[in-house]
Chains A and B, each alone.
Chain A
Amino acid sequence: MRTTRSRGARLGVLATAAVMVLSACGGGSIDEQTQANEEQAAEGGGECGDLNMAVNPWVGYEASAYVVGTVAQEQLGCTVNYKELKEDVSWQGFGTGEVDVVIEDWGHPDLEKKFFAEEGDGSAEDFGPQGNVGIIGWFVPPWLAEEHPDILDWENLNQYASEFETSESGGKGQFLGADPSYVQFDEAIVSNLDLDFQVVFSGSEAASIEAFRKAEENKEWVIGYWYEPQYFNAEVAMQRVSLPPYEEGCQDDPQDVACDYPETELKKIVGTEWAASDSTAVDLVRNFTWTNEDQNVVAGYIAADGMSPEDAAAKWIEENQDKVDAWLG
């Protein structure tokens, strides 16, 4: 018994000492901050409520989403929930109220058919262009465009086809297809233009970027599906190969496509119910518009400088308060 008691006593002393030491270095008290929060909540200012912002998996999108989200949070007092989702899952979320805003849509006719009012269940609606212009096309790394300028015309591609051959392309030139999320007609274009190429899908944006980066560093031959705005273009200025120009309707039948991709006005898509609500963020999202350069700046902060999306957005907002003020109207 004696040993137990003395051990117990020693532990007690130890605990007391620990409490004292830790309290001394414990810093601010939680109670004070809780009170402050309660008072702030009582003051109101919560007309915005929750804003459920989908974050689709590419950096440019992330830049737009966090800039709008940060403005909503800091200047309108919204509670912003960022939801990291692919496009199709995001659209599914409009109907259940799990997603309010898709801030950068590259055009999804099939999803519009399912979720817009005309043909679908009407859970989503088009909220107009967000200012970015999507350019999709066939690109080569800059070293290649410099050494063989004629490669930038599709009619000369066949004479270089053998240079693009890889272990994956089965004796033809390799054309690097992209992440399967994106709209792609390259298999049809290759066959309809009689190009001696085989489309090999990289499978993800990360895989495409690594392939292009490696090609530029080691002067390897690569041609593939690429796009702008994209932060990577600041690191390696990919050069576009011209295909037969886009004309209205030339991409209507996926099997017959033999033309270039059109320029796409990127759109905002929002949940119908949320758009009809009196949240103050509705006007912010409606008014939001910026340029490819703006987005590339923020995307560069995130991807090249390794900043967190929140910090990157805050930095851009600080530098561009005039543009932000225009959205807040």
Chain B
Amino acid sequence: MTATAPAPPRRVEPDAAPPVVEDSGISRWVPAAAVVVLWVVVWAFTRGTDTLDLPSLSRTDLHDRLTEIQNGLLEGRSTNPVMQFTNAIADAFRGTVDWLQRLLSKPAFPRPVPEIGWLGVTALATYVGLVVASWRIAVLVLASFLSFGVLGYWDQSMDTLIIVLISVLLAVVIGMPLAVWIGTNARANAVVTVFLDLMQTMPTFVYLLPIVLFFGIGTSAAVVATLIYALPPIIRIAGFGIREVPATTIEATDSAGQTYWQRLLKVQLPMARKTIIVGLNQTTLAALSMATLASFVDGPGLGKPVLQGLRVNDVGTAFVPGALIVVMAVMLDRTTTAASERSERVARGGGHRNPRLRRVVVAGGAVVALVAVYLSRTYVSLAEFPTYSIGRTISSGVSDVVDAIKDTFGGVTGGLKDGVTEGLLNPVQSVLADSPWYVSFVAIAALALVFGGVRALVITVVCLLGVLWLDLWNDAMVTLNMTLVATVLVMALALVFGVWMARDRRVDLGIRPLLDAGQTIPPFVYLIPVLALFGPGRFTAIVAGIVYAAPAAIKLVADGVKGVSPTTIEAGRSTGQTTWQEITKVQLPMAKGSLVLATNQGLLYVLSMTVIGGLVGAGALGFDVVYGFSRSEAWGKGAAAGLTIVLIGVMLDRITRAASDVRRDDGPGTRRAFSLRLPIGPPGN
């Protein structure tokens, strides 16, 4: 992080010398190009044969066998002992959520209102923000909670918070022991990582039906689905933190004769605390990102009004609750981050400049909060948030703006869509999907070898064989094509905006909140206007994927470029470099690790939007998953498609990782929000 603001960008010399290609990378691109040329030549002669194309609504025997598993479970549900057990757990979840809802969000009969009204909840939350973080955070929390009510979604916001809270608590209880295990045992790490990859890349729609079978409909299903998705970050990141405690420290303390527990509790966990809190932060945001999907099985919360907006095709209706999910994400993110910074300070003995003042604030705040709770239990208007029209005004305003955009750009967008589709999507798809399967298989494996070496080749072959076995080869190639094209566009955006942000602090400050919003707003909110502009099809899916994936890639590139040492840049400037030369010869090559990581994350983020693509006419694997979720006789096809997506994700992840030798500890998080705070590269970077 440079403290000095970079010089404003100078005009690019039109006749500056062309940038010299880094010699370290050139060796890979030549054989890669040779493979592609050969592939195209073979394709030209063999196209259209052995493509393994399967019509959208057809299924194979394998898919029906998978469906039979689900049907078997359904038939035996009254006698299955595992389900008896999970149903008991589900009852506990339901009971807990119900108790919390009566406390916060729904009338606790015979009371006409919840036990604690909005004033009490807001005061308590603000107080917590004040105590664990700072007055700044307290103000943020206060403003967030007021916005929930003023915009008209108090009850739903509380419901979402309840589900997130319970899931995160469970994630910590289940995740921390696993994190310790993988942090201290390399073999355990290798095994657990496979499951974490599966949990993070498997589309939720695939496991929603089994969850309903085992845990029932509604709040219990919402808690379990959220837990499955929120668990991996804390295991991965906390495990990473524990593993990274310097060996010398452990040896030094071991020599004093400590026991296993002393080492764990006094050395490893305290030294990894900062990283563990990062994991907690990521887990919280992952839990929040499930809010809309959980509503597909009647999970309570802000997801419901978002889906209602989708049902009536009104972007305005979906926008306000979607924006509140963003508000909640920002609030939780900033609060956990500030709390971890503060605890770090306190642990180092920094503490407070004025401990007496702090004590007064803590005690006084508690009194105020308790008084507020009492009042909110006594008076209706302090319990039930008053109704304001501002939420509706914003809804209709957003709808009007979107309509205006539609009217203005309606003509241009068709051309853009056709241009990208005809110029980029269709040709690449033709080579990938219209080649005989064995040609594509060999070509992809060869490219994996070129970029990632033997290790990547082995994994790629295993993944492709899996794809082949799952009987969805053609759909997999179409999805792979969309993923690649979207990632190319994402990286183009990431390079432009990332470098711009890195070179100009004001741009960074201006753009970052938009990026946070892009990553956390539920895709269902912007699907409606994107559909209106581009119509159903692959391009629309790509646009949705870009909105979701570009922020992460842009942030990674920006931070990578910013991390380039200022002395290197100064040295270059003293030799009279132009800005263009500075960017292409110094900043980008030196930030190469970040660029590869951004590509990796871009690929996985785009891939995780495949299912959303299935909802907007992109077909292929996304459609198969939606089809399997919608019609239980096709569940097996959806499951096969989900597994295929996992295999493609693992393949792309391992190839890019091998290509860059990026350390694998931080793991592939696909739909991870705010990925920036992940430990990237060696600690202390």
Q: Taking beta carbons and an 8 Å cutoff, which residues of A are in contact with B?
A: 3-4, 7-8, 11-12, 14-15, 18-19, 22-23, 25-31, 33-34, 37-38, 41, 57-59, 62, 83-89, 92-93, 95-96, 98-99, 110-111, 114, 121, 166-168, 176-177, 179-181, 184, 187, 199-211, 213-214, 217-218, 302-303, 306
* B183, chain A: closest CB distance, angstroms: 39
Would you call A203 and B536 a contact (CB within 8 A)?
A: yes
Would you call A28 and B307 a contact (CB within 8 A)?
A: no
Of the listed residues B110, B378, B538, B627, the one surrounded by the most CB atoms of chain A closer than 10 A to its CB is B110
Q: Closest chain A residue to B77 by CB distance?
A: A95
Contact of A167 among B297, B313, B426, B532 (CB under 8 A): B426
Known A-B contacts A200-B617, A203-B618; the reply to A26 vs B381 at CB < 8 A is yes
Would you call B217 and A98 a contact (CB within 8 A)?
A: yes
* 186-230 of chain B: CB within 8 A of chain A: 208-209, 212-213, 216-218
* B134, chain A: closest CB distance, angstroms: 19
Task: Write 19 A-B pairs (CB below 8 A) sorted by A numbering.
Answer: A15-B371, A26-B380, A28-B379, A29-B378, A62-B311, A86-B296, A89-B208, A89-B212, A92-B209, A96-B216, A168-B617, A180-B623, A187-B55, A203-B616, A206-B313, A206-B528, A211-B536, A217-B410, A303-B312
Q: Closest chain B residue to A308 by CB distance?
A: B308
* A203, chain B: closest CB distance, angstroms: 4
Q: B368 in the interface, Cβ–Cβ < 8 Å? A: yes
Report the bound CA distance from A38 to B110 in whole Å: 6
Contact of B422 among A111, A167, A201, A204 (CB under 8 A): A167
Contact of B371 among A18, A88, A166, A208 (CB under 8 A): A18
* 615-653 of chain B: CB within 8 A of chain A: 615-619, 622-623, 626-627, 629-634
Q: Which residues of A contact B379 (CB under 8 A)?
A: 22-23, 26-30
Q: Closest chain A residue to B221 by CB distance?
A: A89
Per CB-CB distance, the 10 closest pairs between chain A and chain B, nearest first, are: A26-B379, A167-B421, A27-B381, A180-B627, A37-B110, A181-B630, A11-B364, A88-B632, A210-B531, A33-B112
Q: Which residues of A contact B377 (CB under 8 A)?
A: 30
Q: B459 in the interface, Cβ–Cβ < 8 Å? A: no
Q: Which residues of B contact A168 (CB under 8 A)?
A: 421, 536-538, 617, 619
Contact of B111 among A37, A114, A306 (CB under 8 A): A37
Q: B591 in the interface, Cβ–Cβ < 8 Å? A: no
Known A-B contacts A86-B629, A167-B418, A203-B614; the reply to A22 vs B112 at CB < 8 A is no
* B523, chain A: closest CB distance, angstroms: 12
Q: Number of B residues contacting the other chain (C-beta, 8 Å)?
A: 82
Of the listed residues B57, B307, B528, the one surrounded by the most CB atoms of chain A closer than 10 A to its CB is B57
Q: Which residues of B contact A89 (CB under 8 A)?
A: 208-209, 212, 217, 297
Contact of A200 among B119, B295, B537 (CB under 8 A): B537
* B198, chain A: closest CB distance, angstroms: 23
* A21, chain B: closest CB distance, angstroms: 10
* B474, chain A: closest CB distance, angstroms: 13
Would you call B531 and A88 a contact (CB within 8 A)?
A: no
Q: Closest chain B residue to A302 by CB distance?
A: B312
A contact face: mostly helix, strand, loop, or mixed: helix
Report the bound CA distance from A92 to B212 in whole Å: 8
Would you call A57 and B56 a contact (CB within 8 A)?
A: no
* 77-96 of chain B: CB within 8 A of chain A: 77-78
Q: B543 in the interface, Cβ–Cβ < 8 Å? A: no
Known A-B contacts A19-B375, A98-B218; the reply to A11 vs B368 at CB < 8 A is yes
Report the bound CA distance from A12 to B363 in whole Å: 11
Q: Closest chain A residue to B374 by CB distance?
A: A19
Of the listed residues B208, B213, B421, B630, the one surrounded by the most CB atoms of chain A closer than 10 A to its CB is B630
Q: Closest chain B residue to A299 by CB distance?
A: B312
Q: Closest chain B residue to A187 by CB distance?
A: B55
13 additional contacts (CB under 8 A) given A202-B616, A218-B410 = A22-B379, A30-B111, A30-B383, A57-B307, A85-B217, A85-B296, A93-B217, A95-B78, A167-B417, A168-B537, A176-B617, A207-B536, A209-B313
Q: Closest chain B residue to A179 by CB distance?
A: B630
Interface string of B565-597 (1 = CB under 8 A from A): 000000000000000000000000000000000
Q: Closest chain B residue to A83 by CB distance?
A: B298
Q: B236 in the interface, Cβ–Cβ < 8 Å? A: no
Report the bound CA distance from A85 to B12 in whole Å: 57
Contact of A111 among B531, B632, B634 (CB under 8 A): B632
Would you call B364 and A99 a contact (CB within 8 A)?
A: no
Interface string of B102-120 (1 = CB under 8 A from A): 0000000111110000010
Contact of A207 among B55, B113, B218, B615 (CB under 8 A): B615
Known A-B contacts A23-B379, A181-B631, A303-B312; the reply to A8 vs B532 at CB < 8 A is no
Report the bound CA distance from A114 to B77 in whole Å: 13
Q: B559 in the interface, Cβ–Cβ < 8 Å? A: no
Report the bound CA distance from A85 to B217 in whole Å: 9
Would you call A59 and B371 a contact (CB within 8 A)?
A: no
Report the bound CA distance from A207 to B110 in whole Å: 44
Interface string of B394-414 (1 = CB under 8 A from A): 001000000000000010000
Report the bound CA distance from A114 to B410 in whole Å: 47
Report the bound CA distance from A176 to B426 in whole Å: 19
Q: B348 in the interface, Cβ–Cβ < 8 Å? A: no
Q: Which residues of A contact B631 (CB under 8 A)?
A: 88, 110, 180-181
Q: B443 in the interface, Cβ–Cβ < 8 Å? A: no
Q: B483 in the interface, Cβ–Cβ < 8 Å? A: no
Would you call A180 and B630 a contact (CB within 8 A)?
A: yes
Q: Closest chain A residue to B410 by CB distance?
A: A218
Q: B356 in the interface, Cβ–Cβ < 8 Å? A: yes
Interface string of B54-85 (1 = CB under 8 A from A): 01110000000000000100110110000000
* B402, chain A: closest CB distance, angstroms: 11
* A314, chain B: closest CB distance, angstroms: 17
Report the bound CA distance from A9 to B77 in whole Å: 63
Q: B667 in the interface, Cβ–Cβ < 8 Å? A: no
Report the bound CA distance from A203 to B310 in whole Å: 13
Contact of A199 among B56, B380, B396 (CB under 8 A): B56
* B164, chain A: closest CB distance, angstroms: 19
Q: Which residues of B contact A214 (CB under 8 A)?
A: 410, 532, 535
Q: Which residues of A contact B109 (CB under 8 A)?
A: 37, 41
Of the listed residues A18, A31, A99, A166, the one surrounded by the most CB atoms of chain B closer than 10 A to its CB is A166
Report the bound CA distance from A86 to B638 in whole Å: 15
Q: Closest chain A residue to B527 by CB distance?
A: A206
Known A-B contacts A34-B112, A180-B631; the reply to A84 vs B295 at CB < 8 A is yes
Q: B555 in the interface, Cβ–Cβ < 8 Å? A: no
Report the bound CA distance from A279 to B618 in whole Å: 46
Q: Closest chain B residue to A166 by CB distance?
A: B537
Would you call B298 and A84 a contact (CB within 8 A)?
A: yes
Report the bound CA distance from A217 to B57 in whole Å: 31
Q: Which residues of B contact A38 (CB under 8 A)?
A: 110
Would you call A210 and B632 a contact (CB within 8 A)?
A: no
Q: Closest chain B residue to A170 by CB distance?
A: B426
* A93, chain B: closest CB distance, angstroms: 5
Would you call A201 and B313 a contact (CB within 8 A)?
A: no
Q: Which residues of A contact B311 (CB under 8 A)?
A: 57-59, 62, 205-206
Q: Closest chain A residue to B539 by CB distance?
A: A167
Q: Which residues of A contact B627 (CB under 8 A)?
A: 180
Report the bound CA distance from A96 to B425 in whole Å: 47
Q: Closest chain B residue to A113 by CB distance?
A: B633
Q: Which residues of A contact B629 (CB under 8 A)?
A: 86
Would you call A86 and B630 a contact (CB within 8 A)?
A: yes
Q: Which residues of A contact B298 (CB under 8 A)?
A: 83-85
Q: B26 in the interface, Cβ–Cβ < 8 Å? A: no
Q: Closest chain B residue to A86 by CB distance?
A: B630
Known A-B contacts A23-B375, A93-B217, A179-B630; the reply to A187 vs B56 at CB < 8 A is yes
Contact of B532 among A11, A30, A210 (CB under 8 A): A210
* B256, chain A: closest CB distance, angstroms: 43
Q: Which residues of A contact B74 (CB under 8 A)?
A: 92, 114
Contact of B57 among A11, A110, A184 (CB under 8 A): A184
Q: Which residues of A contact B269 (CB under 8 A)?
A: none
Q: Closest chain A residue to B633 by CB distance?
A: A110
Q: Which residues of B contact A59 (CB under 8 A)?
A: 311-312
